[in-house]
Structure formats: structure tokens, C-alpha cells
Amino acid sequence: MSQRLWTPSDGTIDESPMTTFREFCAVRNAIALPDHDAFHQWSIDERGAFWSAVWDFCGVRGEKGARELISGDVMLDARFFPDAQLNFAENLLVKQGSEDALIFRGEDKVSYRWSWDQLHSTISVLQQAFRAMGLVKGDRIAAMMPNMPETIACMLAASSLGAIWSSCSPDFGEQGVLDRFGQIEPTLFITCDAYWYNGKHQDVSDKVRHVAPKLGCPVMIVNYAGDAEALAASLADGRTMDTATIPFTAKPVEYEQLPFAHPLYILFSSGTTGVPKCIVHSAGGTLLQHLKEHRFHSGVSDGDKLFYFTTCGWMMWNWLASGLASGATLCLFDGSPFAPNGNVLWDYAAQERFAIFGTSAKYIDAVRKGGIEPLKTHDLSDLRLITSTGSPLSPEGFSFVYEGIKPDVQLASISGGTDIVSCFVLGNPVLPVWKGEIQGPGLGLAVDVWDDDGKPVRGEKGELVCTKAFPSMPVGFWNDPDGAKYRAAYFERFDNIWCHGDFAEWTVNGGLIIHGRSDATLNPGGVRIGTAEIYNQVEQLDEVAEAICIGQDWDDDVRVILFVRLAPGLTLDADLDKKIKTKIRIGASPRHVPAKVIQVADIPRTKSGKIVELAVREVVHGRPVKNKEALANPKALVLYTGLDALNV
């Protein structure tokens, strides 16, 4: 039995929007929903009624139509609200006035804020500028931008017209940008002139001059940290955002009313094993799923300060942007979370009085290992929810949040991904937090864990699946006319069942543990082991800064190889090797103990901070990595070449 770290008070439960919504659904449908388990079961048994209730309770603007769900028993044919008409941007621009809508910090270099009125007026002139450029619904707008207010405004102006938004961060390499945006043939490319990272000025003008001609579309430059006018002038069809919008005067934003399934976003898979998949998400599905997750699972309410540390190349940026629909003030940050020092995000949280602080598991671990203890240094009295995603949060990470950050906060480890632009499993304000466990599945999602034979399992590891259709399933993949790539990605493993690719386990508390990606699981002696089980042990050691493990084909079997990046100044010797293996043997099991532990200077990761086990496995086996541009530090892969025999 794991340790209980947080329990909501009776008052917290009674006042939670989750409870209010459960009572609303019970009265509306004249049924008994005595507790959360009953509520969740009803939400998946009666999905049409449930999502209709989300629409009405959250006050979605638009015409819902008569039908709630058709072909609901066939996941690839299911359609939610097929008669609906709405506009995504209209549902995010829910407020006006002088109150803050967006607060921005670019490390310690740039700081400003926009009111709701300023956000409306900026979107209005952008919308008019886009129309003047000939943009219409269905066109793709591609953006290589920092996480700043102008990016939010451009996205909302695009969606107000029914254009499709796609973004990445400006640290992507030239080929990485082309691998993504080249597939979708954008009508407009939006970029910054430069940005700040780790205290240093990062110029992107040469990259833009190389990328723009290959995309073959007009370019709009947003002034941030460089010379937007000079960059625009150097392009065949370039203009600054100021130049594009100056002819227009702000007026009420106009909203194109569109079908529920109209494409809103194109998001990209990490692309570490090939060209990224272009995943198309609908406006209606994204809106309803995010409203549910924000309002009920996260308790976001009007005026809350909502923060997520993310770039525009990670789906958590799209998730953060939707917080406007609940009336929240979005707190945006761009740059390194350790510039000028490791307290920069906690300074921001204390000064702006965040209600919700979202980040990655890797960041929490880095704060812990860096000796940073916000509990002792910062007033976080308004902070009620910390969320963590990107990779499984270790049990020690759970403990550190309560011991080093805030003892009376709800910690929500969440997991889902780019594939659904949301979460399958996440926090719940009416349930306790148990060490190392995600609190539970999302409302309306028939989440389960299945074994290799397609049977539900409890108390053992298996594949994370969703057995019934849900609104935020992708519309499909771009340039996949017959849907073959889409079906292959999620529906080939089990018939009519979404197989997500996570290795998971139900707990006795009704929560879940994610043990890593199922395609990266280890199989020594035919026993499946999740990589997170090894990381949870190794990363407790002060000597180990971070680690990555793979399965290596060896003697007609698989053996576990663990690579470690050690704390500065340390070298892996026999004593430390033994200490690492002993820690894994005692904390996990003898089967988890690696055959070899190897010290490396760096560990490759994606732009969103996820370590890339599959890429390392390919290199170790002497096979090429197809898309190194997807990595934040592709040169790190060189450290793993020549190790195919691992006779080191």
C-alpha cells in the first residue's frame, strides 16, 4: 500500500466544481450518482448525455444540434454532435475589460501583460490582416514562435476564421521545421526574429531565410528579441506583424461558425523514428475535453492564474491556451527554467500568485536534485494544484513536492499526449493523492489496462487502452486519405479499441501508474519491465543526475543496459556500479538489474524534454536514427555509437 500524501477536506470536496457538476448531472438526468466512481461509470455508459452536460454546464457558445453521438459503438466511425456549429476562438474569448488575460515573462529579459481588451483588439486587427492576405477556413497557418502573448493572439485569430493552426518552438533546427510544416503546405508562416534562452540571445534570421523559400508562402515576423523589420525586408514575401496590422482598426472579432469536427490544430509526433505524424484535432473535441479537464479535474475558475511550463512545440501549450475558456489568466514563460537561476519560476509563481503550476516530471526532479526548496523561500499560499507530465513522476518526486514545495497542495500527475491533445488519466480534486500514483481516469473516458490477449487486468502491468470513442480522438492524420496510417497508429493491436502505447497498471487505490512507453519496455527473459521502474530507483541516488535504459538484443535474448549521467566531477567506478545495481535490485527486483551500467556525458531528449529510448536503442544496435532533427540535443547520440557490442 502506497503512502497517502494529500486528502481533500470535506469543504474542498463540497465546493469543488467536480462535485457541483456531478450533482448537476444527477438532477438533469434524474439518476443517482452518489460518488465519483458512480459518476465516472455513468459518464462512459452514457457518453452522449455526459458530453451534452459538459457543453451546457460550461456554457459553450454555439448551436449544439439535436444529435449528441452517432455510430458510438465503432470508434473510427463515431461522431459527437454531428449537427453542431461553433467557433473555438469565440469560446476562449469569454471576457472583456481591463483584467489581465495574459502575463508574459521571457526569462529575466522581457516582461509585459495584456488585458482582455488588448487581447480582443489584437486578435481583431490580426483577423483583418489575415483576411487581407486571402486566408480562409481550412488554410494552414504554421508558426515557429516563443510562448508569448502574440502567439496566443495569432492562434485565436486563425481559429476565428476557421484556419488550422500548427506550431513549433524557435529552437527547432531547419530540417525539423521543414519535416513538420513542409507536410502541411502552410498558407502563412509566422515566426519571431530572435529569442532568449539561458540568458543568451538566439538569432533565427538565417534559419528563417533558409526555411521560408522552401515553405513557399508569405512570412509574418513578430518582433521579440531581434530586428523584425530587417528580417522581413530580406525575404521575398515578408512583413512584420506591425506592418501587417497597422492598416486596420480594432472592432468586434467576427467568428466563423463551423462544424464540431472542423480541424483546429495539427500537432506532430516526436518524430524520433521517422518523419513526424501530422495529427489533426477538431475544434469541438479539443474544446469540450479541455473544458472538462480545466473546470472539473483541475478546478480552474474565473480569474485563476494558470501556468504551464511549456513551449509551442508541445501539446501542453494548446492545453494551456484553452484555460481562457474558463476565464483564467494565462501566465506564459519562455526560455530556460534555470535562467537566471533555479528560482525563476518560483519567483514568478509567488509574485503573480499562481493557483495552478504545471510542469514536467524532469523539472521537478531537477529542482529536487538542485537543492531548491520553494517551501522555505517563497510564498505559495495561493497555489492549490501542481500538475506534472511529460514522463512518469517518480515516487520520490511525489514526496519532494510535499516536503520541498508545499505540504497542502494537490499534486496531479497527468498522462495522455499529443495523440489526443489532452489526458487519459489525471488529477481529481475530490480524491486523495497516493505516492507514485495518478489519481484516476478522466470523466467520459473508458480507460483500462489490458494484457496481450486483450483481457482487462488488475494488479499487473499491461497496455493502456480506451475502449469507447471520445470527442478528442483525432480527426485523422494529414495526407492520410484512406486513414491507413491513423488506424495503424492506434487500432491495429486490438480490434475497435484505442491502444495508446503506454505500459500501465491499476493500483489498489483505483489510481494508475505509467511505467513508460510500451514500445520501449524491456523484455529480459521474456518478462516485461517498464523503464520508469528502473528510473524510479536510480534517480534517488545523488550521484546520478539522470539515466536512460534500453533493451539490447544479446545471445538470443534481451539484456538491460543502463546509461547514466553522473553529478559533476564523478566517475563511474566499481563501487558506484555496485551501488546502482544494489539500489535497483532492492528497490525493484533482480530482473530489473542492468547487465551493464555505462557513464555518458549527455542523454538525448526531445524538444519537450522526453528522453528518447528508441533512438538510443537504434544507435546501440548500429541502426540509423531517421530524424535527429526532432531532438533538442542530437549531438548526444554520438556518445552511443560504437557501443553495439558494449564491450566497454
Residues paired with residue 557 on neighbouring β-strands, in sequence order:
554
What pLDDT sits at residue 532?
Answer: 84
The rounded percent of the chain whose pLDDT value lies above 90 is 82
What angle in degrees, to the nearest 10, is found between the helix axes of 36-45 and 17-29? Answer: 60
Angle at 267 between CA 261 and CA 270, to 5 degrees: 145
pLDDT in tens, 523-573: 777 667 788 889 989 988 999 999 999 888 887 778 889 999 999 999 999
What pLDDT sits at residue 638?
Answer: 86
Does 143 score more than 80 pLDDT? yes
What pLDDT sits at residue 648?
Answer: 46
Structure confidence at residue 325 as a pLDDT band (50, 70, 90): very high
Average pLDDT score over residue span 6-13:
97
Structure confidence at residue 589 as a pLDDT band (50, 70, 90): confident
Cell reading at 584: 535497483
Tell me the C-alpha distance between 44 and 469, whole Å. 9
Average pLDDT score over residue span 172-177:
88
> Which domains does the chain show, CATH number per domain?
114-259 (3.40.50.980), 521-640 (3.30.300.30)
637 contacts 625 by C-beta, under 8 angstroms:
yes
SS3 (DSSP) at 573: coil
Cell reading at 219: 512570412
Structure confidence at residue 245 as a pLDDT band (50, 70, 90): very high
Compare 338 and 637 and report the one with higher pLDDT: 338
Name the pTM for this structure: 0.90
Q: Which of 421, 52, 498, 497 is nearest to 264 (CA)?
A: 421
Average pLDDT score over residue span 592-617:
88
The rounded percent of the chain whose pLDDT value lies above 70 is 98
pLDDT in tens, 79-111: 999 999 999 999 999 999 999 999 999 999 999
pLDDT in tens, 66-79: 999 999 999 999 99
pLDDT in tens, 378-412: 999 999 999 999 888 999 999 999 999 999 999 99
Residues paired with residue 194 on neighbouring β-strands, in sequence order:
203
Compare 496 and 636 and report the one with higher pLDDT: 496
Looking at every residue in the chain, the average pLDDT score rounds to 94
What pLDDT sits at residue 518?
Answer: 81
What pLDDT sits at residue 643?
Answer: 61
